[in-house]
Amino acid sequence: METYDALVIGSGHNGLAAAALLGDAGLRVAVLERSERIGGATVSERDRWPGYTISAASYVCSLLDPWLIERLDLRSHGYDAYRKDPASFTPLLDGRSLLLGADDTANGEEIARFDPADVAGFGAFEREATALGSALFERFADMEPRFAELEPSTRAAFEGSAASLVERHVRTPVLQATLATDGLIGTYCGPFDAGTGYVLAHHYAGRAFGVQGAWGFVRGGMGAISQALLSAAQARGVQAFTDAAVTRLLVEGDRVVGAVTEDGREFRARAILSNAHPVTTYRHLLGEAHLDDATACTLAQWQSIGPALKLNLALGELPNFLARPGTRLQPHHRATIHVAPDLAFLQRAHDDARSLGESREPMLECFMQTPTDPSLAPPGKHILSIFAQYFPYDRPGGWTEARRAAAAEKVIALLARYAPNIPNVVEAQQLLVAPDLEERFGLVGGHIFHGELLPGQIFERRFGVRAPVRGLYLCGSGTHPGGCVSGFPGRRAAQAVLADRVLA
Ligand SMILES: Cc1cc2nc3c(=O)[nH]c(=O)nc-3n(C[C@H](O)[C@H](O)[C@H](O)COP(=O)(O)OP(=O)(O)OC[C@H]3O[C@@H](n4cnc5c(N)ncnc54)[C@H](O)[C@@H]3O)c2cc1C
């Protein structure tokens, strides 16, 4: 039996953030991770393809808590990021395309080629989206988040659809679709569904590079965030164990006192923090008999059916887009590359999944980190990461090998309509469909945020940081403010443990 002040179950970036903050406060802390790798969905893989570093799951960063970066001095532990600029590139089949970034004048010229009236509308949309994102960011560290305390107009925008937010300001179809995509990422909804306005705002909540809503690539891939957090934690005495799957929590009287791992080791502590998905924590590790009615009810209704797959490709040359030809590096190769010509396309992609099991033509969001950080691939080679919806976890008939292969083929074929050289330059591929995300990262239902980020599952209606049993805390994305690589759930849990003075 091993005894600590605090145990953290799971080494996702939130678990590591919580561990580091508790270590910083002088607690003896151990982290128990089920897989052989640290970082959960914030990970870089170096051993898959020689010479490549793949951000297997998450790939871009915006929401990482600036307070945490400073408090743990993550830069001295290797964290650094590059702003993504241009921000988005949406090619069309008729040869036109839309490239947007940090430069207002260049944005105006791009948009005016479609509709001069939308130049002002785009500015108005950006102002509204960043104001919503800012209002959200201000609440991210709240220990008692209250949805009702938001401004009525903010609440209305969050409860509305991404399409209505966008359509209020602009009318160019490709611009509408490009902007609405942020409201759909990871979410099993179409752009006209209520609540996708919140998801859109969530993607504008970050303050990377001191700019509201800016996104960036992390030097060395997303795993560099987890490695920096691990290094900061270890510098504060935290011990981390991999291949240490917790199979159950130890309950004595009215409190949780420890955890047992798969190989029978027993760890005891005054505070146990779970970074695992809430369904894992409550249904499989604790047992529902220990829950109060409110938590049991939240658990029973929790929506965590992931609609996305991730396809990572090693490319022998850059994509040659019909709309911006050439395989020499150009600005659009650094941007998020969207396949989303209009809102109807996005809605159809969603509706197909509900009625047919998957999209006939999926929404694609693609990233290439290698043009910005060439160290991630051998000279001249590139990584193209494709995030595709909708390929839901619970498709009728399940995910057979044939369906997996067909899904990858469909995604590549769709992208090839815009950049025909892609199929011929794919040198290796890694496909992660929703059940793979569950198996590999412990994301129940393959949901990238540990459950939908929709009204009904946000603010006080997400799981509480304090479990209904004493001694147990949740420190992962199932708590406020939810998924994405932010560190806020870990920070809030550490603050709760310290405020409760569990060691006193
Ligand atoms: C494909 C994909 C793309 C994404 N893209 C982005 C992006 O570009 N930007 C962004 O900000 N976010 C993105 N996200 C979302 C983001 O990665 C997650 O919301 C975030 O990483 C979750 O962090 P976490 O620390 O809360 O939990 P996780 O990273 O899920 O970590 C939980 C950890 O707990 C461990 N665990 C579970 N059960 C046990 C157990 N019984 N015993 C021990 N350990 C256990 C797991 O193995 C895992 O390591 C993406 C996610 C995915 C999957």
* pLDDT tens digits for range 245-255: 999 999 999 99
What's the confidence (pLDDT) of residue 312? 98
Ligand 1 site-directed mutation target among 273, 411, 485, most atoms within 8 Å of CB: 485
Atom index in ligand 1 nearest the CA of residue 13 equals 25
Is it true that the peptide bond before 390 is cis, omega within 30 degrees of 0?
A: yes
Ramachandran sector of residue 96 (left: φ over 0; alpha: ψ -120 to 50; beta: rest): beta
For the chain, give the mean pLDDT.
97
- Residue 504 pLDDT > 90: no
Q: What is the rounded CA–CA span in Å between residue 130 and residue 149?
A: 19
- Residue 27 pLDDT > 90: yes
Q: What does the block give as tokens for 13?
A: 């970036």
Indicate yes or no: pTM above 0.75.
Answer: yes
Average pLDDT over residues 193-204: 98
Q: Is 448 in the pocket of ligand 1 (CB under 6 A)?
A: yes
Cα 322 to ligand 1 centre (Å)? 36
DSSP H or E stretch at residue 256: strand 255-261
User: What percentage of the chain has pLDDT greater than the value 90?
Assistant: 99
Q: Is 437 in the pocket of ligand 1 (CB under 6 A)?
A: yes
Q: What is the rounded CA–CA span in Å between residue 113 and residue 501?
A: 61
Atom index in ligand 1 nearest the CA of residue 308 equals 1
Output DSSP code: residue 87. Answer: -
Q: Is 259 in the pocket of ligand 1 (CB under 6 A)?
A: no
Average pLDDT over residues 264-271: 97
Q: What is the rounded CA–CA span in Å between residue 201 and residue 481?
A: 12
Question: Looking at ligand 1, which residue's alpha carbon is closest to its atom 41?
Answer: 246
Average pLDDT over residues 257-262: 98
- Residue 501 pLDDT > 90: no
- E strands of 368-408, at which residues? 382-389
503 pLDDT band, cuts 50/70/90, is low
Strand 97-100 and strand 81-83: the pairing is unpaired
Q: Is 442 in the pocket of ligand 1 (CB under 6 A)?
A: yes
Neighbours of 76 (CB within 10 A): 11
